[in-house]
């Protein structure tokens, strides 16, 4: 799996979620399976089928979280005003619309476009990553082509 940028706070949340899934949720599924088996023949046992499907979904989610945490790169405030890195806040001009925006480049699971938080995994985030003041970024979207110019990097 490719490297995933993530804040320390989000990393801790994912670790807690993983622990909860491995303990509480696995226990609940085991109890459901045990109860379903007590009904006898599993060949026509809907409760058993549902519990096995729930177990598969749970194990897939556990696996995905483990992979994310293994490949996580914790975002540290760079303090650099030279280029845009994960954790950086910056100002751009959308030259297509002649509008000013302030964005923050954030890691996995923290994107919130209405707050100006752009994920490093998004198309726009990938374009901004490692850009410098004065750089021009072009992006094609279903709504057309947009051109951004980096005006200022705060941190």
Residue with tokens 């026509």: 44
Tell whether the model's pLDDT for residue 145 goes beyond 70: yes
- Tell me the per-residue pLDDT of 87-104, one tens digit each, with 9 for 90 and over: 899 999 999 999 999 999
What per-residue confidence (pLDDT) applies to 25? 97
Whether 1 has a pLDDT exceeding 70, the answer reads no
Which pair of tokens denotes residue 2? 């490719």
Residue 57, both tokens:
């979904």
Which domains does the chain show, CATH number per domain?
Answer: 4-74 (1.10.287.180), 89-153 (3.10.50.30)
| Per-residue model confidence (pLDDT) at position 42 | 74
Q: Please report which residue ranges of the chain form alpha helices under DSSP H.
A: 8-20, 26-37, 46-70, 123-128
17-59 pLDDT per residue, tens? 999 999 999 999 999 999 888 877 777 778 888 999 999 999 9
The strand order across the sheet containing 136-141 reads 117-119, 99-106, 89-94, 144-153, 136-141
Predicted TM-score of the model (pTM): 0.69
Question: How confident is the model at residue 39, as a pLDDT?
Answer: 77
């Amino acid at each position: 799996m490719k490297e995933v940028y993530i804040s320390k706070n989000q990393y801790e949340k994912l670790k807690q979620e993983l622990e909860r899934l491995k303990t509480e949720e696995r226990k609940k599924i085991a109890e459901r399976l045990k109860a379903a088996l007590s009904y006898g023949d599993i060949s026509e046992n809907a409760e058993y089928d549902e519990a096995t499907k729930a177990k598969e979904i749970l194990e897939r989610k556990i696996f995905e979280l483990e992979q994310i945490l293994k490949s996580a790169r914790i975002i540290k405030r760079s303090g650099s005003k030279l280029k845009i890195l994960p954790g950086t806040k910056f100002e751009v001009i959308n030259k297509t619309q002649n509008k000013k925006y302030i964005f923050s480049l954030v890691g996995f699971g923290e994107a919130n476009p209405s707050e100006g938080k752009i994920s490093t995994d998004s198309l726009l985030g990938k374009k901004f990553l490692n850009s410098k003041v004065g750089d021009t970024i072009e992006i094609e979207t279903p709504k057309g082509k947009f051109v951004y110019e980096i005006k200022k990097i705060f941190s």
